[in-house]
Amino acid sequence: MSANPPAAATPHKGKKMLVIIIGVVLALLVVGGGAAWFLISRSHAEDDADAPAARKETAKVAPTFLPMENMVVNLADPGGERFAQIGITLELDDAKTAEQVKQYLPAIRSGILMLISLRTSSEMLQREGKEKLANDILREVSRPLGYSVPTERERERARSAARQEEGADEETERPRRRAEHNPVRRVLFSSFIIQ
């Protein structure tokens, strides 16, 4: 009988050892998970500490949208049978700018009609044509307010001149001219139908 009790004790010790190993593994998982959580939350806290300063610098005011009446314009296609119906909404900095634009709205609308009437339907059906028209309308809206928007040709000249200056003298850093802030942010098309 003395041989049986040690055999019975061995399975009990094996179960005890298994429980201890499982406990140690669980403890390591909990400690490792806690350490990972701490490190991740710490890095997020550092990001959040920097973020409010950046948010304060780039605090944006909600834009003001000024919808214009839809315009129906004959296009410059041969035969004059094609026309466009275009709805335009202006995205402006604030309500004060909206009031200024409203004062010049008849002149702006006339200029926009002239711009559209110079386009062909094939030009207006392409994305590039619409983007160019939006930029031209932006220039037309900005002009009475005293702001200038460069044409695509002027932008390309400025880019090539900047590339030439960078290549010519990389040692001397020239201060870049700061562009004036145009309160007319964007030109949005609310409808665009060509027939």
Dihedral over alpha carbons 106, 109, 115, 117 (to 10 degrees)? -100
5 in a structural domain = no
Task: Give the chain's count of helices (H) and strands (E).
Answer: 6, 4
Q: Which domain holds residue 129?
A: 64-164+182-194
Average pLDDT score over the chain: 80
For the chain, give the longest Cα–Cα distance: 117
14 in a structural domain = no
2 in a structural domain = no
Confidence of residue 53 (pLDDT cuts 50, 70, 90): low
Q: What is the CA radius of gyration of the chain?
A: 34
6 in a structural domain = no
11 in a structural domain = no
144 in a structural domain = yes
Residue 167 and residue 151: Cα distance in Å, rounded? 24
Dihedral over alpha carbons 64, 83, 132, 94 (to 10 degrees)? -10
Tally of domains in the chain: 1
169 in a structural domain = no
pLDDT tens for residues 141-191?
998 888 877 777 776 777 777 777 776 555 444 444 445 788 899 999 999
37 in a structural domain = no
What pLDDT, on the 0 to 100 scale, is given for residue 40?
81
Residue 7 and residue 147: Cα distance in Å, rounded? 96
Confidence of residue 67 (pLDDT cuts 50, 70, 90): very high
pLDDT tens for residues 73-110?
999 999 878 999 999 999 999 999 999 999 999 999 99
